[in-house]
Structure 1
Amino acid sequence: MEGSSMKMSPVEKEKELFHVVHKVPPGDGPYVRAKHAQLVEKDPAAAIVLFWKAINAGDRVESALKDMAVIMKQLDRTEEAIEAIKSFRGLCPKQAQESLDNVLVDLYKKCGEVDEEIKLLKQKLRLIYQGEVFNGKPTKTARSRGKKFQVSIKQETSRILGNLGWAYMRKTNYLAAEVVYRKAQKIYPDASKACNLGLCLMKQARHEEARSVLEQILQGKLPGAGDIKSRNRAEDLWRELDSWQPPPLSSNPPGLGLEDDDFADGLERLINEWAPNRSRRLPIFEEISEFRDELAC
């Protein structure tokens, strides 16, 4: 590599430096031109047009689709981004589907399509459970902000359950959210989801239980308890406990519904659907069945 760079002309060196500085891939195809419009010219509208051209030309379709969706989200064109991914994800390889699902979850959250978000999060859990994401391995390589790191199956499952819990919170189905958060904490506890569980209990006017959960954060007993954001949030919730005014109890409180099913029965049913061949079940999912008995108490 060193020898080849020594032979580069000044113009070639300048071009290479340009690509490194602006993080624009080399070449002259529609995808490269789209990235140039996005990152160098700062023209999102032009970038979207060029990303469309890249998709239609089969030029780095996966990257073009995800990059275009991100720009559309920034321009409040979220519904268009959702339809684009749904329409063209079939052109992308199987290994790209998980990352496209992650983009979709974010888009559903942005435009308030909570039911679709819940449906997709359940599908992501199902894929993990079936071994289609981790390929039966305990860890996978993930990437964030250009850096690679290892994620365990417990971490990923807990993360998705946490997102599912927050989706139920936004539907004010606090009982379902509580079940999901408690499961997430059993699999891989952390302070951020504990804050959400505490809030969930507060929403149900179960103040002492909420206080017990928040104490674990404030006493540094949970992973991530040292994170300033989580600690500040726990302190804010703790202060709210003394002045919290519980909402009046409804004569028809929301059920534990997972769609039309009772949550406990629905969760057990999902487990059976996820693994008709029980020998393929990942160990952490064996624990989910415990919730049926816990909910009955």
Structure 2
Amino acid sequence: MLERMLLIRHAESRLARVAKEVGLPGGVHLSIGQEATAVGICSQLEEDDWMTSTHRGHGHFLAKGGDVNAMFAEIWGKSSGICKGMGGSMHVADFSKGIIGANGIVGGGLAIATGAALAAQLDGNGRAAVCFFGDGAANQGVFMECLNVASIWNLPAIFVCENNGLSEFTVSSTVTAGKLSDRARAFDMPVSVVDGNDVRAIAQAARNAVERCRRSEGPSYIEASTYRIQGHLEAEDMILGGGTYRTNDEVERWRKDDRDPIARFRDCLNNEGVCDHTLFATMTADAEAAVEAAVAFAEQGDPADTKLAYALMGVGEEA
């Protein structure tokens, strides 16, 4: 889990640098600070379990075993990308690993995951379907609809709310009434509210929920309290035009080792004699090397074939 979190952190830190220095096709939304949620949940999933993601989906993709080279090529808009360069940062997917799509629509993955859970139930193969979504997405009507359907049909669905307290450029508490977890309780499903920066706590909650799915006991709701260090997207300053919705002091408090999910897990493993500073340094170097190799792979790739758009629509280029 620590290795996977390091890979996500270094991948997204590199994307942040590239976005600032030379730019990237389309918007890039990073999940730095939220790595434990993605890794803790996905550590309990099998490759053929389904998972939907969000516009902030790089961490989910890598946590479930997505290829970092193919992800970077996709973000660069290259034909060697996981979606042939046609999806970009917000739409990475790999059906062979159960990753059925990130989504540029807020809350867009909720119905997709619920449908996947229904398919898993009909197949009777014991698969689980996980939906990652943010606290902002919980105000979409489809959220309540999917909780209702999943509960009434006893679907093997796991709804994972990454509650970072922010809805794009808005503090969530100013637009959301009550506790989000109470919305799931209203549909009579088990609810776990956990520290989203404690990867072990997340993994335990996920284990319980996945076991329920395997036993055909219905859906679960997990709410992970966490925080994103980066802005809503890397072009945020240009969009806000000098405005702000949080203070630098707030961000810096979440950077500290006692809150940072990687530093916390590193220190726990060090205290337990599992991962000393030398091993951690090696793991960090390995993650950095993998990311640099991914950058090189992306930069060397051929641009996406724009004619593919016509083929996907089933029409000729002349149309």
TM class by shorter chain equals under 0.3
Task: Give the structure-2-normalised TM-score.
Answer: 0.22
Which structure has the larger Rg? 1
Structure with the higher helix share, 1 or 2: 1
Answer 1 or 2: which has greater strand percent.
2
**Larger RCO of the pair (alpha carbons < 8 Å, separation 6+):** 2
TM-score (norm 1): 0.23
